[in-house]
Amino acid sequence: MSEQTAAPTAPATAPGAVVGSIRKFVAAEGGTAKAVLQPIGAAGVRITLVGENGLMGDRVVDDLDTARAVVDAVDGLETAEWDRDLTSAANVKPSHWRTMAGWVARQKHFPKARNRKILD
């Protein structure tokens, strides 16, 4: 049986545009923020930011190593998880809820449920 040696990989580098925008976010939020790293499939990894005031932001990078490099490159940014304290601190604006709801948010009339006869 032969031994396979893994080729040494270069450490991930943080994209300058992402680091710059996150630095501006952290500065606007008083100098500290928390980052939740969330893999989103083939699209990469979402870095969700929650500032001191609860304001939220996000950026997407290629992979988890790059996301960790971004967090390491920004002073005042620390990695966190969605726990009770962080979710209660996050302040989602009404406009953000409307954006997430998509077309449903603009509806005035909704059709009756297809299973209405079963429920009646």
Q: What are the sequence ranges of the domains in the chain?
A: 16-92
pLDDT tens-digit series, residues 108-120 = 776 666 666 665 5
Task: Check if the beta carbon of residue 53 is closer than 8 Å to that of residue 30.
Answer: yes
Selection from 54, 45, 47, 49 nearest residue 34 by Cα: 49
Q: Give pTM, 2 decimals.
A: 0.73
CB burial of 41-66 (b: ≥16 within 10 Å; e: otherwise) equals: eeebbbbbbbbeeebbbebebeeeeb
pLDDT averaged over the chain?
Answer: 85
Residue 2 pLDDT > 60: no
pLDDT tens-digit series, residues 42-60 = 999 999 999 998 999 999 9
Residue 74 pLDDT > 80: yes
